[in-house]
Amino acid sequence: MRALVALVLGLATTIAFAPVSLFPLACLTLAALAWLWRDAATPGAAAALGFSWGLGFFLAGVSWVYVSLHDVGGLAAPLAALATFLFCGYLALYPALAAYLFRRFCTGEGYRDAGLFAAFWMLSEWLRGALLTGFPWLSLGYAQTPPSPLAGYAPILGSLGVGWIVAGCAALLAFAGRRLRAWGALAAVFVTGALLRGMDWTHPVGAPVRVALLQGNVPQSLKWRPEYLTLSLSSYLELAQGLEVDLVVLPETAIPLFFDQIPPAVLERLGGGKGLLLGAAVREREGAYVNAAVGLEGAGRQAYVKRHLVPFGEFAPPGFSWFFTLVDIPMSDFTAGPRRQPPLSLAGLTIAPTICYEDVFGAEVLDFFPHATLLINLSNTAWFGDSLAQPQHLQILAMRALENGRMALAATNTGITAAIAPDGRVLDRLPAFTRGVLRVEAQGYGGVTPYQRWGDALALIVGGLLGAPALWSRRNR
């Protein structure tokens, strides 16, 4: 029965994330989960509850994996369902680990156990984002983008630290909720977050730049078929016609050709003689190609090469090359770019580019700062159909804008193409699965946020220090 309750709590927690964004729910469901963990008979029993919660959470939250494998990739439904279940089962091991460690070291003292719960929760999310190339999607902090008052902590502690705060508040509710002092502490956390939201960590740099984000809405099922090449070309050429802007941005692999195969006349018409940033596959040598964001301005050319590739989508992990015989995934053998790459300079902006789900890794985005003045993400979310992936991805980009105090732009093939303010608010967006142009006044920003200076280290140190008293008390006992 308790395992079923934990499973339902996991399912319910996904409602805290986009598109519903009922952000207070994350704190409430986690409070119930924390109580279940401490009340478990053994650490192993707590781990089982953690696994049940994780299974419900990820099966609901990343259900788009099935859509990508079956609806778009063509994998047989039973195999796609099995692969999705196994993947979610793997992800559920991380909350199971947090549960085991918490139950193993909890003391029965409310405040100390709250610190311990939050510390182990953060540790599990940090490991999930680092091991086996990492998958930090749906980390708890992402649910706290505006209007949540906890968004104010993002420029200081990052999404990992915001998730730690949510876990700590949930544990306080579970273990010390009957004490007036605990309610005072909770109120202080939320009021401080709301006040921090009003702080300007960065400042405008230069004049606003006119940018056009093109959303071609080309179905993935047609995109890579040679007979439909003209569909992609005509879609983006029509959208680019007559634009009076300083920079035109096309999404990831917008034109289904290698960059050297795109006629120069097409590139000239897309950019309209101004700056152009487009996603394209670029051949480096015979048999080797990269996923790149190519910037063109005048006679100059710059390129950013995607660093963090998607396993089973852009490369096969060792021993899994057979996987691509079961699915229809074109361009699935990319080469990763180097870790250190400079920002792109276009139309007077210094751009921190990310491609597809690279922007999920907040610590990696920091490599572009403090020099970059604007974030731009190029994605082809057609791979995920009409699923939760699009609003979740937009929420992730909003967190990156918050952490870095920079405006962020999302250029996607099928949606959601959007402009986000440095405080994480979505300023404007195009409807998903429509063809259109989003015109944006992109303002560059300069300055350094505490998160840019310290990365995830600050959250890990603070969380570890506040979790240490429980471990020390347990050791003395």
Distance CA 204, CA 189 (A): 29
Structure tokens at 393: 């991805």
The answer to whether 50 and 96 are in contact (CB under 8 A) is yes
Structure tokens that stand for 147 in this block: 């209007």
Question: Which phi and psi (to 5°) does residue 184 adopt?
Answer: -65, -40
Q: Which of 306, 314, 358, 403 is catalytic?
A: 306
Which residues, at least 6 apart from 92, have a Cβ–Cβ distance to it below 8 Å? 50, 51, 52, 53, 54, 55, 57, 58
CA distance 450 to 459: 11
Backbone angles phi, psi at 74, to 5 degrees: 80, 10
Do the strands 426-429 and 436-446 form a parallel or antiparallel pair, or are they unpaired?
Answer: unpaired
Active site residue 223: no
* Sign of the torsion angle spanned by Cα atoms 148, 154, 158, 164: negative
Per DSSP, the residues of 223-279 read HT-GGGHHHHHHHHHHHHTT---SEEE--TT-SSSBGGGS-HHHHHHHHTTSEEEEE
138 secondary structure, DSSP code: T
Active-site residue identified among 27, 88, 223, 252: 252
Smallest CA-to-CA distance from 205 within 410, 402, 450, 448 is with: 448
C-alpha dihedral (293, 294, 296, 301), degrees to nearest 10: 130
* Cβ-based burial of 309 (10 A; exposed 0-12, middle 13-18, buried ≥19): buried
Q: Where in 314-429 does DSSP place strands (E)?
A: 344-346, 349-355, 374-379, 408-412, 418-420, 426-429
Alpha helices in 139-179 (DSSP H): 154-176
CA distances in angstroms from 451 to 120, 364, 432, 456, listed in the order given: 21, 12, 32, 7
252 is catalytic: yes
State both tokens at 170. 């949930």
In terms of C-beta density within 10 A (0-12 exposed, 13-18 middle, 19 or more buried), how is residue 30 classed?
buried
CB atoms within 10 A of CB 181: 11
Do 467 and 236 contact (CB within 8 A), yes or no? Answer: no
From the candidates 27, 88, 106, 356, give the one annotated as an active-site residue. Answer: 356
- What residues are labeled active site? 252, 306, 356
